[in-house]
Amino acid sequence: MAELQDRLDEFKKTFESGAPPYNAPREKIEMMHRATAELKASGAEGRALKVGQRAPSFTLFNQDHVEANSAELLRQGPLVVSFFRGHW
């Protein structure tokens, strides 16, 4: 199985080629690049929580509407929290 970043790069190449199935127009691809560059330049990454800081706790519903609580999960062991933007 290829590394995740290889797979992402491959997808990006196909998408940005403007070819089917995505047929992404050049000007739209450029807008996406511009938005990413602006977000980078805004210093947003530097404002995120860093190693050594205390993680905020949370209680949220899972896909089956069952509540999950970070303190409860941490009682069982270390926790990986991955933020996923969704269909974006």
Partner 1 sequence: MELEALQEINPAVEKLGARLVVLTPELERYTRALHRKLNLTFDILTDLHNETAKQFGLVFELPDYLRELYKSFGSTLDRFNDEPQYRLPMPARYVIDQEGIIRAADVNADYTIRTEPSETLSVLKSIAVAK
What stretch of H or E contains 66?
A: none
What single letter denotes the amino acid at residue 6?
D
7 is an interface residue for partner 1 by CB under 8 A: yes
CB of 42 to partner 1, least distance (A): 8
CA 36 – CA 55 distance, rounded (Å): 26
Query: Nearer Cβ to partner 1, position 20 or 85?
Result: 85
Token pair belonging to 64: 């089956």
What amino acid occupies position 86? Answer: G
Residues near partner 1 (CB under 8 A) are 1, 3-5, 7-9, 11-12, 28, 31-32, 34-36, 38-40, 42, 44-45, 47-58, 60-65, 68, 70, 73-88
